[in-house]
Amino acid sequence: MLYLIGLGLGDVKDITVKGLEVVKKCTRVYLEAYTSILTVGKQALEEYYGRELILADREMVEQEADEILRGADITDVAFLVVGDPFGATTHSDLVLRAVNAGIQYRVIHNASVMNAVGCCGLQLYNFGETVSIVFWTDTWRPESFYDKIKRNREMGMHTLCLLDIKVKEQSMENLMRGRKIYEPPRYMSVNQAAEQLLEIVKNRREREEELAISEDTVCVGLARIGAEDQAIIAGTLQHLACCDLGGPLHSLIITGHLHPLEVDMLRLFATQPDSLQSLTTTDSSTYTS
Beta strands 186-187 and 165-166 are antiparallel
What is the C-alpha to C-alpha distance for residues 219 and 270, in angstroms, rounded to an integer?
A: 10
CA angle 33, 35, 40 (to 5 degrees): 50
SS3 per-residue string spanning 82-94: CECCCCCCHHHHH
Binding residue per annotation — 29?
A: no
Q: Is the dihedral of CA 201, 207, 208, 212 positive or negative?
A: negative
Helix then strand then coil, % of the chain, to nearest 5: 35, 20, 45
The single-letter code of the amino acid at 215 is: E
Q: Is the dihedral of CA 10, 16, 19, 21 positive or negative?
A: positive
Whether the ω angle into residue 268 lies within 30 degrees of 0, i.e. cis, is: no
Binding residue per annotation — 237?
A: no
In contact, 27 and 71? CB cutoff 8 Å? yes
Binding residue per annotation — 250?
A: yes
Q: Which residues contact 155 (CB under 8 A, 6 or more apart)?
A: 128, 256
Question: How many of the other CB atoms lie within 10 Å of CB of 99?
Answer: 12
Binding residue per annotation — 84?
A: yes
Look at residues 281, 149, 279, 283 and name the one whose alpha carbon lies nearest to residue 212.
149
Binding residue per annotation — 198?
A: no
Q: What is the dihedral of CA 214, 152, 166, 197, to 10 degrees?
A: -10
Annotated binding residues for S-adenosyl-L-methionine: 9, 84, 87, 112-113, 163, 250
Annotated binding residues: 9, 84, 87, 112-113, 163, 250
